[in-house]
Structure 1
Amino acid sequence: MLRARISTHAFTDEDKKLLETLASQASVALENARLFRDSEDTREMYKTLVDTSPEAIIVTDLEGVITNVSQQTLALYGYDTLDELVGKSAFMLIAREHRKKAIQNLKKILERESVRNAEYLLLRKDGTPFTGEINISVIKNLPREPTGYITTSRDITERKRAEKQLQNLFTASKLLNSTMDMDKIYTFLSDSLQDLVGFDNFMVFLVSDDKRTIYPAYVSENLRTHMKDTVLTFGEGLVGHCIKKREIMLIDNANEDERGKFIPGTEICVSQILVPLIIENEVVGALHISKSKKNAYDDQDAATLQPLSEIISTALRNSKIYDSVKKIGEDLEKRIEERSLKIEILLNTRQKLQGERNWEKGLHIIVDSMGKLGFDRAGIALVNAAQGTLNYHYGRGIDLPEIGTSIPLSDSEYYGVRCVKDKKTMYVREGSHLKGKQITSDSSSFVWVPIIVQDEAFAALAADNIENQKEITEEDVKDLEILAGMCAAFIDRTRIVIEPVAENELQVEFTHHLEASEGYIILEKRPEKSLEIFFDHVTHGIPGFIISREYPEKLRRKLKLTKTPMIWLSHSEVENTVSPNDLSKLNYILQEFVKQSKESIILFDGIEYLMTQTDFTTVLKYLQALKDIVVIGNSRLLIPLYEKTLFPKEYSQLQKEFIIMNSDHTRVKTI
């Protein structure tokens, strides 16, 4: 055990200074030791990074003299030791024709501090050239002064080869598809194959039409004499195996392959690649290239020919059936021209409909467009929900039914009825087993297409080719469905929605009550009594609707009606107006109005005006249809009429359809 003597005067001031000096020096020494250790660790880390990098790394001074290289550099350039490179100029690794460019780039690096992805032709130790990609950066010391360069390089030969092959394939594709001449096709093909993989001999084999034999369609010059008149049975020899198995074959030495068939003179075809030519999943032949030495091709070469074989297959087939293709091309050109014309017709139809509000004119536009699309008989039939019928409305062609011809919606034997009831297209081809009846004379092929508005069948388009007997195609059907869609959009856009609403009830006696489901004509020069009767109904809880020649707002102010909907019978294009020659639209509006109310009253002022715009027969038929709507819908139809505007016969016809009343609300006796 050591004993220390304690003394307050053990160290002098000089001793303390000495110790402080020693401590300071020791700190510096320890820090230096730590920095040295860290430096060694860092150096070892960078050495590991360099040695394990997949790219070749070369360090040079500012003059390009090599000071260090990685192990990958030795492997890439074919050197055994560092000593073979250290101290030598890095430019010796660059092909002579690229050195000037490399020296110029090296001078520019000091300004830009790096060069990226520069491509040079590089040299291995044995003088073998290869395409390399180089990246160069400046090395700087702590004061940021350049001291040398660090370069990474890699072999991009395969990448460049792939790029070249891709370009060659693209070029071959353009050339092979630029002609139908077989000699030119084989010339283009020969040049393309030589650029892609090279060959000594080249042949194209085709399968016979009966699929029993295989024959050489083209043979390069060296083998042409030997292969003359050669025919293989299907599946025979290497070519037959390739075609039968539908597989690419890479042969290192064909002379030792037992599957081959010996043909004198073909011994020079040692290394071979055989590629099946397939069109639409059918093998039509095989491509055969060869070289006279063993192992001349590799898997990459075989893979390169895969896409080319597809190009060749198409080119051969196109040439073989050139006449057919030409006819198809002419037919296609004609079809494109016809299709373009039809598209133009459809676009023009849509444009016309967008500028139209008159339903009658719009329906005529649709049917006329059907004729322009090539149907020699076309028409439209409207659904009359009130009567439960499908009524022929308008058409063009021969053997058309009379306008107004109707068939009951309950008779599903008719194709048109099934079309609107099922809300789907009825397309009948020639020889179809689908049974039914037509509203027109029969034809072997026809189509009905529904027009759906607000999820209800509004009408149906019908078309066929009764004269030229041309069959309706699926494309024709699609065109009609497009027209039907246009028509539906046109109807939906231009329809006038009327809400049945009664006026506020007045606490006065209901003096002019009319029985529902009847049509009444009030004989008067001006619609005074009619308006009085109408006013009495709408102010006692019965919704009303006015169609008048008088402007609605003026009429509304005169009658003090705030809720009653009104339609102006006029050629004007203002809102809530219906043209006198657009009775189908007016009919639809009235049907929708009646359908929405339990009971109602309709005032129709303008019969005389309608007759001046059309004719009495048309007006009578319309009034008869309107009366049917009223009767079925529990409504009342009130018509003011100046009888002196009619001939006696016309007046008599109205008497048969309507209850005639004087302006004093008394019935007129019929004779």
Structure 2
Amino acid sequence: MNVREAIRTLRPGDHVFLMRESKDVHPFVEDGLKKNEFIISIGGNVNLETLKRGSAVENISINNFLSEDPEKMICSLKEYLQKGKKLKCTGMRVLQDMSWARKKEYAFKEYEARINVLCSEYKMTCICFYDKSSADILMDAVRTHPLIIVQDELCRNIYYVPPEFYSRDSLSLVDASLENVAAFHRLEKALKEETLEKTKQLQVSENKYRTLVEHVPDVVYSLDRTGHFIEINPALSQMLGYTRDELLGEHFARVVDKEDLEKASQSFKELVEGKKDSTIGLQLRLVAKNGDTKIGELNARALYNGKGQLLKTEGIVRDITHRKQQDENLELLAGVVENVMEAVVITDTRGIITYVNPTACTMFGYSKEELEGNLASILNSGNSQVVFQEILKNIQRKDWEGEILAITKDGWKFPTWLRASALRNDTGQVTAVVCVSRDITEQKEAEEKLQRYALLLEMKVREKTKGTETMLKTSYALRGTSNWKTGMEIITTGIVEGLGFDRAAVFFVNENEDILECRGQLNMSDRVLKMKIPLSDDRYAIVKCIRERRPIVVKNSSTDVRVEASLEGEASEFVWVPIFFQSEVLGALGADRKRSEKPIETEDVDMLELYANQIAEFIERTRLVVEPEVEKQVSTPLKYNLESQEVYLVEEEKPEKAYDMFTDLVKHGYKGFGICRTHPQKIREKYALERTPVMWLSEIERKQVEQVGPQDIPKLIYLVSEFIKRAQPAVVILEGVEYLVVQNDFKTVLKLVHTLSDYVATSQSILLLPVNPHALPQHQYEMLKRAFRVINGESE
């Protein structure tokens, strides 16, 4: 710490003695100065430019301030302190040049003693600067200050005499000084006692440490700077046969084998020169007293004093001779295992491979790295009568031997004769399993062929039967609905539950926007339903499927060059199958096994193509082609003059004016089509519509009336768009916008009418939307009004 740092630690009420070399007080003002602090400088000259944070500064001349009467000086100082209090400063600091103390010795002692009272009363900080004067004056000055800055440290003054003693006789000052001496003696005595107690505790800890060191089985030692032993524990005798006294003072080279001496010396040199702090795991050959060679594993470190000078090096040597011999034996056994003609696989108790020999790699077609860390079950064909997990369970009781069906990396299955033995620890617990396999393909070839063909046939029949049952159930369910949304749910459920796929999705071609849109999915992200994939973007596998008009099977999307972009959450392995009706591509059907990761086989693709055919048949059966019909015409002029390629929002509580406009147009040359909440029979009777097609917007399906469900948005779009293509000029009325909002949501319905508006805008057509303005929230209705032309149906 320096003087500046010491001053920064001052607190209100502190009175400090400082003997300094220079008269410049600026640094002492600035150090620790708080914002808005009041400064009183007696005998100094504080530069105002340096006190940017101070609110006020008073520079007081010594000549105007000094007096033989200390009471007068105290009163004068109080006046300035009162001024500081009125200014409401955050603190007050007094800086005093006490060089005048040499002339007025008595006055300065009384004055300095009373300063302590002012410091406490006004919460001020007072720093008194003394020059080197006579020893008597400085000692008196020291006695009047509770704090002293000595050797750049802020210290409590043990020679400090409180101010009340200065109002008594001279003997009181002596008594106060003696009391300080006594207090210092008591403190010194307490410190000695504490030091003695700490020394005892240290001795106890040292004895515990020494006892521990003397009883550990490893050699613990210390070397001086030259490499000579200065400390050794008794474990040395057990390892090398030397007594402790025989090696103390000896160089470490005496116990290191000549061939390892250079290595040991280099490690010691690096520690001594500070090139490294420690040595870890250094193996050295050591020479025992009887000439035997031992293998020691050394861990050492260097110890330094507070000045960074090396004190010693200390270390631990563990005897690993037996372990090294075991390692060599294991290497010998490993060499045998590495060269046998049988496949050797070692696993842990969970069946995870920890070792394979080269023969196993050759036999199963994997590299060592591919097998180790993997489950051993990958080498066991799923068609085997005995699986590896069963062997692991049985191995707890006894060794296992028998035939299993193995499988190579490329999928080739072959019979092996397996011998599995458990390795146990000292407590009899199984720690590992050793499996030795021999290829018996030649012995089993004829039998295996028959078994394989029989098994494959059985699997094919079973899968075919299950697939046929699923197809029949799906076909039957599709016959019971004409709702496209429900139909897509039936299809995707059949694919997932019947064919064993985890997820499925159906995309249809939107010819108007030249995009692919998702119309049904199961177990995929809801965001997939919102995806629009341009048919021009062939980075997607689904687009390639549509363009090439054939199935696309992707085994690994990260490496398949055909896949440059993926759907959100799309699995690494997936399949897309086009949906055809005659020569028309309606869309594509996709599926994957993201969770199970079961590979997609050729049979899976075949079944998906059958499902795609069912989708095509369902769409063709349910996509009604509304044939335009010309209503009986009238000779009266048009009642309403409406422009083509427009959507009209007709405001009315009941859709009367909208139907009047619709009827007026269809009886003056327009071909009309109505999708209505009101029953079609009532519409025809009320407005005398004999030929104009009208569909019921309802969830109830009736054979007697053509119907479209309110949630079947794709079908609604299809019906209107197909009618507009066939009829020119055309007028379409969509009654029930409020009903559609209830059955779906406003955002979906707004998107629907905007899509219909796009079809109308590109043809000679008119779309009428009767809406009750009170049936929708105001902000939703305002969005409709901004989008389309508004006609007030209540006014004539």
* TM, length-normalised to structure 1: 0.49
* TM, length-normalised to structure 2: 0.41
**With CA pairs under 8 Å and 6+ residues apart, which has the higher RCO, 1 or 2?**
1
